[in-house]
Amino acid sequence: MALLPILCYPDPKLHTVAAPVAAVDARIRTLVSDMLETMYEAKGIGLAATQVNVHERLIVIDVSEQRDAPLVLINPELLWTSEQTHLNEEGCLSVPGIYDGVMRHDAVKVQALDGNGQRRLIETDGLLAVCIQHEMDHLLGKVFVEYLSPLKRNRIKTKMLKAQREARS
């Protein structure tokens, strides 16, 4: 088990499009356990491999209160999204301290492999549906701040770069 460094916006590597996982093997199982450890340590509810600079289609999520219900989605595919959408207040481990509203589908149906390489069908709504949409965006190289206005996004970019400069000095 190891904690992995999380890329911070506006790192251009966050815009890399992830490739499918070829096989759920020992390397992937190690990555899954390291990503779960990293997500729990950072007190996040989801983490995409993109955020730890691994550009393969893999997501870990835990939206449970007790932080004891890890969900692993490998090569996730959206099969269906509800027409109904709502504005959801979101944050991201790659954009620390920033929260803003994003329109998301209320419900989704997703097919993916789990951590054992077994095919799973997940039909869900609420926080889990939002989290899946947010994390799947990461695999396409998209960070939630890209849904905001250019003005807001530029302010966030400036704030992040300043914080990163201060952290280094």
Give the interface with Ni ion as residue ranges (CB under 5 A).
92
126: part of which helix (H) or strand (E)? helix 126-139
Q: Is 56 a residue of the active site? A: no
- By beta-carbon proximity to Ni ion, the closer residue of 92 and 129 is 92
Nearest distance from residue 118's CB to Ni ion, in Å? 26
- By beta-carbon proximity to Ni ion, the closer residue of 49 and 92 is 92
Output the residue with the shortest Cβ distance to Ni ion. Answer: 92
Residue 50 amino acid letter: T
Categorise residue 24: left if φ over 0, alpha if ψ from -120 to 50, beta otherwise: beta
Nearest distance from residue 134's CB to Ni ion, in Å? 5
Task: Tell me the helices (H) and strands (E) count for the chain, helix number first.
Answer: 3, 7
Out of 37, 135, 146, 166, which one is annotated catalytic? 135
- Alpha carbon distance 107, 126 (integer Å): 7
- By beta-carbon proximity to Ni ion, the closer residue of 92 and 139 is 92
| Residues catalogued as catalytic | 135
